[in-house]
Structures are given as structure tokens and as C-alpha cells.
Amino acid sequence: MSGFSELVATRFSCRAYRTDPVPRAALEQILEAARRAPSACNRQPWRFAVVTEPALRSRLLDEGLLPGLGMTWAAEAPVILVMGMKKSMITHRIAPLLSQVEYPLLDLGIAGEHAILQATELGLGTCWIGWIRPKVVRRILGWPADILPQSLITVGWPTSRPEEGSPRLPLADIVTWR
Ligand SMILES: Cc1cc2nc3c(=O)[nH]c(=O)nc-3n(C[C@H](O)[C@H](O)[C@H](O)COP(=O)(O)O)c2cc1C
């Protein structure tokens, strides 16, 4: 991969995986990229669970997903990265009351995409899964009450890549120049 633009263009939501395991060193590199993400007041509200154990992955997918999207493909992914949010009192509960900005959600999104882009650079496929039951996921993981899962990210070796990426709105529709 020659540069950042190519990395961004290469990433896609991967929904077909080989079942081969992902080396621990690759997972640590992915987590390190997430850990380097910026966050409001440097609060670092993210917490991660790396789930490779087959029975636990099955439970996450069987019980932790909401119905309706038919995400059976996720069972092939050898790794499920769970993104959890641990809120602080001032930055995450009081400041948003004044600003109306959801800082910890922004922070988790940045960290998750750092992880995903690092995975992409390593040739791995990923997909955000936000259609989840956060409290069920928390119980399955045995996380404490102050950490709420916000997303799963599947990680594994893609079986194929789409010829074209998903469509995007044109810049003219989403940008205001002043
Ligand atoms: C916060 C978030 C939640 C998502 N949740 C799901 C999901 O539950 N299931 C799914 O199949 N894809 C999910 N996606 C993937 C999107 O559908 C996908 O990013 C979008 O269609 C654009 O396609 P692309 O990622 O291939 O460019 C999610 C993406 C984001 C960023």
C-alpha cells in the first residue's frame, strides 16, 4: 500500500472471511493504532475486548446482535473486536449537557477507525457492527456496569474484495464552503 489515500480507498466493509486465525502480533498492532487515537480531554474512553474463542464468538453473535440484518457472515470472522465505552463524569456526562456534543462517541469512532485502517494496511478485512444489544454483549464479556459496548468489529482475512466501493454522496451535497 503506497499511501494514506490508497489505504482509505482499499478499506471496505468485509462480509466474507476465511476462517484462518489472525496472528496475535497483528491484533496487537491494530490495538496499538486504536490506542493512539485522539480523544476529548485525552480521556481515552475506549475499552476493547478481543474475542477469538469460538464459543464466546458464537454467543456474541447469537445473543448480542439485534435481529433483522441477517449477519450470518459474521460467524466466519476469526476475531470479534468489541468497542466499549467508559464514561467520565466531567468530559462525558457534564460537558455534553452544555455543548450537546457526544464526545465519547466521537472518541470511540476515531479509535475504531484507526484500528480498521491499521487492519486494512495488514491486508485484513473488517466490518463495524452497530446493530447490537449492548447490555447483553456486556454480560457475555463479563465487563463491569460502567463499560457499555457500542460496536463490534469483525476482523479476518477477506475472501474477496468488491470491484467498486459503496456509493458516497458527492462533495457538493455534503460540504458548505464559506
Ligand atoms: C457505526 C457503524 C455501524 C455499522 N453497523 C453495521 C451492522 O450492524 N451490520 C453491517 O452489516 N454493517 C454495518 N456497518 C457497515 C456499513 O453498512 C458500511 O460502512 C456502509 O454501508 C458503507 O460501506 P463500506 O464500509 O463498504 O464503504 C456499520 C458501519 C458503521 C460506521
pLDDT, tens only, 49-58: 999 999 999 9
pTM higher than 0.85: yes
**Rounded average pLDDT over 148-165:** 96
Burial of 103 (0-12, 13-18, 19+ CB in 10 A): buried
Is the pLDDT assigned to residue 128 strictly greater than 80? Answer: yes
Asked if residues 116 and 153 have their Cβ atoms less than 8 Å apart, the reply is yes
Q: What is the pLDDT of residue 1?
A: 67
User: Domains (ranges, CATH) in the chain?
Assistant: 22-159 (3.40.109.10)
State yes or no: pLDDT of 100 exceeds 90: yes
Q: Is 34 helix (H, G, I), strand (E, B) or coil?
A: helix
Percent of the chain with pLDDT over 90: 94
Query: Which residue among 7, 13, 85, 166 is best mutated to probe the pocket of ligand 1, counting the most ligand atoms within 8 A of its Cβ?
Result: 13
Q: Whose CA is nearest to atom 30 of ligand 1?
A: 128
Which residue in the block uniquely carries the three cell numbers 458548505?
176
pLDDT at 53: 98
Q: Would you say residue 60 has pLDDT above 80? A: yes
Grid cell 457472515 is found at: 73
Cβ of residue 116 lying under 6 Å from some atom of ligand 1: no
For all residues of the chain together, what is the average pLDDT?
97
CA of 141 to the centre of ligand 1 (A): 23
Ligand 1 centroid from CA 92, angstroms: 25
The residue whose CA is least distant from atom 23 of ligand 1 is 166
Is any ligand 1 atom within 6 A of the Cβ of residue 9? no
